[in-house]
Amino acid sequence: MSSEISKTSKNGSGCPVMHGGMTKSSQTPTAEWWPKNLNLDILHQHDTKTNPMDEKFDYKEEVKKLDFKAVKKDLLKLMTDSQDWWPADLGHYGGLFIRMAWHSAGTYRIADGRGGSGTGNHRFAPLNSWPDNTNLDKARRLIWPIKKKYGNKISWADLMILAGNMAYESMGLKMYGFSFGREDIWHPEKDVYWGSEKEWLENKRYDNNDDRTSLKNPLAAVVMGLIYVNPEGVGGKPDPLKTAYDVRETFGRMAMNDEETCALTVGGHSVGRAHGNGDASLLGPEPEAADVHEQGFGWNRKGGGGLGVNQVTSGIEGAWTTHPNKWDHSYLNLLLNYDWELKKSPAGANQWEPINMKDEDKPIDLADPSVKRNPIMTDADMAMKMDPIYREIAERFHKDPKYLEETFAKAWFKLTHRDLGPKKYYVGPDVPKEDLIWQDPVPAGKDFDVEKAKKLIEATGLSSSEMIATAWDSARTYRRTDHRGGANGARLRLAPQKDWAGNEPKRLNNVLGKLEKVAKETGASVADIIILAGNVGLEQSIKKAGLNVKVPFVAGRGDATQEQTDVDSFKVLEPVHDAFRNWAKEEYLVTTEEMMLDRSSLMGLSAKEMTVLVGGMRVLDTNHGGTKHGVFTDNPGALTNDFFVNLTDMKFKWKPASKDLYEIIDRATDVTKFTATRVDLVFGSNSILRSYAEVYAQDDNKEKFVRDFVNAWTKVMNADRQELKKAH
């Protein structure tokens, strides 16, 4: 056991004490001692975790009991209920709550679906301590009385976004809609890669700083600790045209097009103000670095003060519009009709201010209503004016304010709901009736005679491996992060999925041709028949292994049309590797076993489930292209534990044959018995994964292996069936 002697403080006031717990994250030696060790923690977060809620608590059901009108009424009242400990700007908290909602949702990234508003992760590190999120912990404390009042019926995740919506409503903008149903998590997410930087606002995210499209994937923010772009300009140097590239690239990674991006910029800065009326060097530590009397309340000003007038948040100081506490159209009036020049805020930040602005267009001073101050623009604001594409859109909005309001409201709805999954799982009275293509709409499924369908599937002559592989390919695209992909919709038969290399288009076309006939004859959806066929193949393989285990099936999937499928949006779901089918599209810098962990994490698999699925898929002979790597069995197509038996058998030695390929050689005869890839052997080499493999290799666990495989398989096949399970 490791132990630590706590050191005395510099003034000698503390006494040394022995304790054996790794009580600081920095104490954990594994990552530093063995940096190449696999981070299986990203899968362990899918195991049972500490959760203060009761085991049977179901938030999606509990929130339906909420008095929706009452909570919205309370939020509207809170907007102007200024508190002495953190006064509202000009008596209105709207701008602060909008920023809280925006920054909660604004971490979403389309590449892997991570981030977003759906889990309430904004309460935890690192997000709560990002420089861009300064003082948002205070916004959460301001809405705490409402959370306290309504308790379990509303999550933090829902409340933070609802507060932003009600802020806009209170300022005069009609919102497009809102859905409840975001379920809180209770620990920081371990699987999200936020960047390799070691310092706040460090810029290491571009392969080439002169090429703004070289931003590393899956990152969306351009600098560590920012939601989108640096308000002072690229690298802190004002250049609106260069900033426009950053804006376009980062908003695009959030699934926003140019029009939505411009609308969000205009609408986001049509209310509220920025704070930089003080000395930025006097700011205290971020929340996670503060002492207990300030932790979770951080970024306070050293020596006290820093409230209201003297507050420093972004460092930029001023309002964007004439009347920052109400929705109007002065933002574009000011931006487009005045010339702007570079100035410095009191905190020393670069900002743009107007030249010779009329007094009637200026906002009032925060402390003295009799004094008028220049409004300000960030470099991103100026990008809307200087970039020709954004300029054209901005002028269109300027001429048609109603169109701006509608476009912004829809874009805001998308921003705050992009990671919630299909619309049918939305909750509450304000859910819009309109189907939006980014919601990946799928028609309802159909009832059919399952047993008749199974017999017709068996009569197709398809092999068990063909049926299993096709079902897997249909389901494997699911991401728990934003509930996209999966088998529902049968988009496997539509562009772009039907042409993905990972789906073996030629094989897929043959299998689908036969299964579509079964669907037509039984009245079932193709989506249901694909999964049912996989189950039929699996049951055949279980019988071949000498066991009789039923594979659960629940009908109800529907078939999407090509018109309901956003081809460009679905491109990011294309698998470039699949450890479960032992395939990679090409060679990558990242090891195949690391890619396997990432994919398993997105699928919501535990380490145990990942292990049993890989071992089973190998002996089922489902490798991409029919390769035999990792097929450690003399009885392929039977669901046996042979993969684990031979993986752990010391009568074999492993010998590298080429990059990522190994020979499994009989020690006694020196004859190559099998071949294997890295993702095969890692289950026998990594100490943690091997401990699972050994369980499944035991003589008394042959049936356990099959049952565990069936459970994990069913989880993957039903991953997008949120009506069958809790959302998270």
> Which DSSP category does 587 fall into?
-
Other beta carbons less than 10 A from residue 627's beta carbon:
14
Contact 620, 630 (CB under 8 A): no
d(CA 707, CA 704): 5
Contact 303, 284 (CB under 8 A): no
Contact 280, 348 (CB under 8 A): yes
Q: Comparing C-alpha atoms, which of 316, 278, 331 is closest to residue 171?
A: 331
Contact 237, 223 (CB under 8 A): no
In angstroms, how far is CA 569 from the centroid of its own chain? 15
Element (H, E) at 145: helix 144-150
In the structure encoding, which two tokens stand for residue 71, read together?
């909570």
Q: Where are the alpha helices (DSSP H) in 151-257?
A: 156-170, 240-252
Strand partners, 319: 273
> Which DSSP category does 434 fall into?
S
- 71 SS3 class: helix
> Which DSSP category does 539 fall into?
H
Amino acid, res. 416: T
> Which DSSP category does 365 fall into?
P
Burial (CB count within 10 angstroms: exposed 0-12, middle 13-18, buried 19+), residue 715: middle
**From 103, 122, 417, 624, active-site residue:** 103
- 486 SS3 class: coil
d(CA 459, CA 514): 10
Element (H, E) at 138: helix 136-142
Q: Which residue, chain included where needed, has tokens 């000003």? A: 301
* CA-to-CA separations, 544 to 8, 634, 636, 706, in angstroms, rounded: 67, 13, 10, 12
HSE-up of residue 106 (Cα within 13 Å, Cβ side): 25
* CA-to-CA separations, 364 to 154, 317, 368, 541, 570, in angstroms, rounded: 37, 13, 7, 75, 47
Sign of CA dihedral 275, 276, 278, 280: positive
Q: Comparing C-alpha atoms, which of 231, 269, 267, 236 is closest to residue 250?
A: 231
Intra-chain end-to-end CA distance of the chain, in Å: 35
In the structure encoding, which two tokens stand for residue 669, read together?
């005869």
- Is 275 assigned a catalytic role? no
Contact 349, 315 (CB under 8 A): yes
* CA-to-CA separations, 443 to 448, 561, 564, 680, 715, in angstroms, rounded: 16, 9, 10, 39, 22
| Interacting residues of 723 by C-beta distance below 8 A, sequence separation 6+ | 424, 425, 556
HSE-up of residue 160 (Cα within 13 Å, Cβ side): 30
In angstroms, how far is CA 430 from the centroid of its own chain? 24
What are the residue numbers of the active site?
Answer: 103
